Amino acid sequence: MAETIKTNVLIVGGGPGGYIAAIRAGQLGLDTVLVEADKLGGTCLIRGCIPSKAMIHIAGEFETMRRAAKGAGHGIKLAAPPTLNIAETVAWKETVVAKLNGGVAALLKRAKVKVVNGWAKFSDGKTCSVETATGPVTVHAEHVILATGSVSTELPFLKFGGPVISSTEALALEKLPEKLVVVGAGYIGLELGIAFAKFGSQVTVVEALDRILPLFDRQLSDPVKRWLDKNGVTVHLTAKAKMLEQGRKGTSLIVDTSDGKTIELPADKILVTVGRRPLTEGWGLENMAVDMAGRFVKVDDQCRTSMKNVFAVGDLVGEPMLEHKAATQGEMVAEIIAGHRRRFAPVAIAAVCFTEPEIVSAGLTPDDAAAQGLDVVTAMFPFAANGRALSMAAGDDGGFVRIIARKDDHRVLGIQAVGAHVAELSAEFAVALEMGALLEDIAGTIHVHPTLSEAFHEAALRGLGHAIHI
């Protein structure tokens, strides 16, 4: 017999947008049901951000030991090169994922959220049916939050399967590919490509545009390109993947290059990272009266759709497709349903690229400011002059902190950085922008020594015309 549930709030999708909305709704005393077909945590926790950073961390450790075996370990030497069991690495990564997945489940339980495991399908805007392991469940809700997330984009001639993999399969390989071809030089492709290069794979990157990391300007991406060149990663720019060829000699990717030639790239695995698309199919979106904005669900600054009491958050509603955006929207929507006055209007959403070196960008870039006709001052401070960076042997990778501020009132409009561990500066950058900081505010804040954050302080001083250490 089918089970029927009536609830205040129905949330579809257990990723960061969905589960955080559910926890906050539960905290606010709203009767809440969360439907998730996979593990709780969503793409970021289960097959994206967290597992990839775990693998990137191990790749960095392995590379350090490989250097030490060659006598380049700053006084540390290994008698023999390290060995890698990629299956054991993947197994360790899964323990991290499992711990966080269990934590999400415990938090939902504490918030008294009912979790229904199965695939939801809407028959109308407020009703969905779920096929669970114990039978069908129908859920009727007063309010609905759509948080279905996104999926990797395939290429028509490179369908996922066999040697062609997405980032999900790349993070679950039990054998290290000797030759890995990465299609797409965006942040996902380069994060994973660099990790596999550190593990010892021969990595080749194919990018249709004329530079890597097109979401970041060349000043930020150039240090990453130098690392790729220095470490033997071949990059084909303005090159288009054409077709997959499989035969007795193995698998190859056929590529058209910018000079009109066609080359063949042998590969054990071909990692396709050409972007992600919102998951809009298979759960009954066509049965809901919501407007679309291209491929995304259209929402206002409260994440309301065109249908009353139906909200949408996260990757489903547009760029940037980032966990912290989805989480913030989910929390906000739960509070709106509970009667709070909220709207989604961040000054900036910081983005981090966990390449080698790392990149952070928040707010306007110099190019953005120029496009808007703004009169700005741009100031940079190199990590080559930062004591903490030098003490970590991270001062010679071309890294820096850059601040863009209005010339008239010194209001900070954008902050970027590239260098080792700069991801940890992203929160300070975001806070400065959100609070409307001036260059004088940053310059007047005492920054701890020795830390990388001193480069932010010095960049502000330089913007004011009196940097100390350069």
- Catalytically active residues, by annotation: 449
Pick the closest to residue 288 from 144, 92, 138 (CA basis).
Answer: 144
DSSP labels for 395-459?
A: SSS--EEEEEEETTT-BEEEEEEEETTGGGGHHHHHHHHHTT-BHHHHHTSPPPTTSTTHHHHHH
Do 317 and 292 form a contact (C-beta atoms < 8 A)?
no
* Burial bucket for residue 173 (CB in 10 Å: 0-12, 13-18, 19+): buried
Q: Which residues pair with 379 in a beta bridge?
A: 403
Residue 198 tokens read as: 């550190």
Do 17 and 321 form a contact (C-beta atoms < 8 A)?
no
Peptide bond into 16 cis (omega under 30): no
Helical (H) or strand (E) element with 131: strand 127-132
Assign residue 202 a region: left if phi > 0, alpha if psi is -120 to 50, beta otherwise?
Answer: beta
Give the type of residue at 17. G
Pairing of strands 179-183, 412-419: unpaired
DSSP labels for 251-302?
A: EEEEEE-TTS-EEEEE-SEEEE-S-EEE--SSS-GGGS---EETTEEP--TT
Taking each helix axis as running N to C, give the angle between helix 187-199 and helix 49-69, from 0 to 180 degrees, rounded to the nearest 10: 30
Per DSSP, the three-state class of 161 is strand
Structural Rg of the chain based on CA atoms? 24
Do 171 and 164 form a contact (C-beta atoms < 8 A)?
no
How far apart CA 289 and CA 149 sit, in angstroms, is: 19
Per DSSP, the three-state class of 18 is helix
